[in-house]
Amino acid sequence: MKTKILEITDPQKDMSAIRYAAEVIKNGGLVAFPTETVYGLGCNALDIHAASKIYEAKGRPSDNPLIVHLSDPSRVEEYVYLEDPLAKVYMDHFWPGPLTLVMKKKPIIPDSVTAGLSTVGIRCPSHAVARLLIQKAGVPIAAPSANLSGRPSTTEASHVIDDLNGKVDVILCGGNSVYGLESTVLDITRKPAVILRPGFITLEDLSFINPDTIQASDTSMKDGIPKAPGMKYRHYAPRAKMLLLRGDPVKVSEYVDGIYEKKEGEKACVLTVEEWTHYFKGKRVFDLGPMTDASRIAGNLFSVLRKIDKTDINVIYATYLEGKGLYTSIMNRMKKAAGENVMNL
Ligand code: TXA
Ligand code: MG
C-alpha cells in the first residue's frame, strides 16, 4: 500500500489535508494522526469492517479493544449509557484531554471495536488536528496508539513513519505529542472506579472527584480486578533487553560497573535522569531529563527508547524512579518496557 504522508504545520491553513484524511476515514480507510498524548491510528468507529484493518496493520492481538475518540462531548450519549452519576463530572473536568472513560456501550459501537466487550473506552482529545479530523469525518474515530504492536508508542511523526509507512492510507504529521504518554484509562463501570492504565491524569487528580478510586495492580490480577485487556501483553518494548535497577544511585552504579559489557557481544547503555548521569562516567548514557520534572521525563521516555533502538545497543540498564502521581505512570511504562525485569539493590 502506498501511504500518503501529509505535513500539517497549521491546522487551519492545512485544512485540505485534514479534509482528505477525513474522507479516507469515511470510506473505511486508516489514518495515523497526532493527539496530545501519543499518535493514534484511526478508523471509522461505526464501521464494523474497519477495525480489523487496524489490528492487521499493527499486528495487534484481536482481544485488545480500541479507544473511541469524540470531538464533541455532548454527543457521548449516542454511544454509551451514562450509568455512573459522576460520568458527566469527569467529562466536565478532564475533557478535552488525556482521560479515557470505560463505560457501557450502546449497540451502535460494533463488537469489532471493543473486542467483544460490553464496555467501550471513550476519549475526547484536545489536539486541534485530532479534533478537526473527527469533526470533518463526522463519525467517532476508533484509534489505538500508532505503533507496531508491542513497540514503544509514537510521539513524533517520524516514529509513525518508521512503524506504519506502507501499512496505512494516510499519516498526518503534526509535530511532537505534548504529553508523550497514553491517556489514563478509568473504568467507571466498576465500583469503586478503577484506573486500568495510569497516565497524565493521576490517582490523586481522580480522587479529587471520587475519593474511592483505586489503581489496578501493575503486575497481577490477584486483587480480582482484570486490567485493561491490552496491559497483559508485552508493551513499549525496545529491541534491546532492559533491566530496571532499583536502589540508591551509588549502589546502582556499583552494580552496573560490575556487569557493564562484561558479557561477550553486549553493547550496553544506561538510561537515567540528568542528576544521576555523573554516576555512570565512561558509559553510554541516555538521560530522560531532570529528576524533578516528571512531565519532561514522561514526554521523553518513548522517544529516547526509540533513539536507543536506532543504535547497536542490546542491553539497557535503567534506573528506577521513586515517586507518586505521574512517576507511577512513568514507572508503569518503564516496567512494561523492561518486561517487569526489576532488580532491587
Ligand atoms: O492516549 C491514548 O489513549 C492513545 C491515543 C491515540 O488516544 N490511545 C491508546 O490506545 O493508547 P491503545 O489501544 O494503545 O491503548 C488502549 C488501552 C489498552 O490497554 C486497552 O486494553 C484499554 O485501553 N481499553 C480500551 N477499551 C477498553 C475497555 N472497554 N475496557 C478495558 N480496557 C480498555
Ligand atoms: Mg498502545
State pTM to two decimals: 0.96
* Residue 231, pLDDT score: 64
Instruction: Look at residues 226, 261, 279 and tell me which one is the last residue of a structural domain.
Output: 226
Among 61-65, 312-316, 326-330, name the one with the lowest average pLDDT.
Answer: 61-65
Q: Could you tell me which residues are beta bridge partners of residue 197?
A: 185
Residue 337 belongs to a domain:
yes
Q: Residues 77-119: pLDDT tens digits?
A: 999 999 999 999 999 999 999 999 999 999 999 999 999 999 9
Spell out which residues have Cβ within 5 A of ligand 2, the ion.
145
Q: Is 99 helix (H, G, I), strand (E, B) or coil?
A: strand
Nearest Cα residue to atom 19 of ligand 1: 230
Q: Indicate whether 233 pLDDT > 60.
A: yes
Pocket of ligand 1 (CB under 6 A): 35, 37-38, 40, 64-67, 100, 102, 114, 117, 119-121, 123, 143-145, 182-183, 185, 196-197, 228-231
Say yes or no: 33 and 133 in one domain.
yes
Q: Say whether both 198 and 291 belong to one domain.
A: no
Closest residue by Cα to atom 21, ligand 1, is: 230
Q: Distance from the CA of 240 to the center of ligand 1, in angstroms?
A: 25
On whether both 83 and 214 belong to a single domain, the answer is yes
Within 10 A of 268 (CB to CB), how many other CB atoms are there?
Answer: 20
Q: How confident is the model at residue 222 (pLDDT cuts 50, 70, 90)?
A: very low
Regarding whether 251 and 186 lie in a shared domain, the answer is no
The CA distance from 320 to 335, in Å, is 9
Confidence at residue 218, expressed as pLDDT on a 0 to 100 scale: 56
Q: Which domain holds residue 138?
A: 4-226
Nearest C-alpha neighbor of 330 from the set 161, 152, 158, 66: 152
Q: Please check whether residue 231 lies inside any domain of the structure.
A: no
Q: Closest residue (by CA) to atom 7 of ligand 1?
A: 40
- Local confidence band at 62 (pLDDT 50, 70, 90 cut-offs): confident
175 and 61: one domain?
Answer: yes
219 and 159 inside one domain: yes
Last-in-domain residue among 226, 261, 289: 226
CA–CA distance, 93 with 96 (Å, rounded to integer) = 9
Ligand minimally distant from the alpha carbon of residue 181: 1
Same domain for 12 and 113? yes
Q: What is the mean pLDDT of residues 203-212?
A: 96
All three cell numbers of 47, joined, read 464501521
Q: Are 263 and 308 in contact (CB under 8 A)?
A: no
Residue 234 lies in a domain: no
Region for 245 from its dihedrals, namely left if φ exceeds 0, alpha if ψ lies in -120 to 50, beta otherwise: beta
- Same domain for 155 and 249, yes or no, is no
Q: Determine which residue's CA is closest to atom 17 belonging to ligand 1.
A: 230
Q: Indicate if the pLDDT at residue 17 is higher than 80.
A: yes
Nearest atom, ligand 1, residue 199 CA: 1
Mean pLDDT (whole number) for 146-159: 96
Q: Residue 143 and residue 202: Cα distance in Å, rounded?
A: 22
Name the residue with cell 513497540: 151
328 and 294 share one domain = yes
Please indicate, yes or no, whether residues 72 and 143 belong to a single structural domain of this protein. Answer: yes
Residue 224 has pLDDT above 90, yes or no: no
At 315, the pLDDT band (50, 70, 90 cuts) reads very high
Position 128 in a domain: yes
Give the Å distance between the CA of 8 and the centre of ligand 1: 25
At 237 the pLDDT is 82
Q: Does residue 235 form part of some domain? A: no
3-class state of residue 103 by DSSP? strand
CATH number (domain holding residue 247) = 3.40.50.11030
Residue among 62, 66, 67, 184 to mutate when testing ligand 1 (max atoms within 8 A of CB): 67
71 and 95 in a single domain? The answer is yes
Domain count, the chain: 2
pLDDT at 95: 98
Picking from 177, 202, 226, the residue at the C-terminal end of a domain is 226
How many CB atoms neighbour CB 205 within 10 A? 16
Residues 261 and 134 placed together within one structural domain of the fold: no
Ligand lying closest to the C-alpha of residue 155: 1
| Least confident stretch, 124-138, 218-232, 270-284 | 218-232
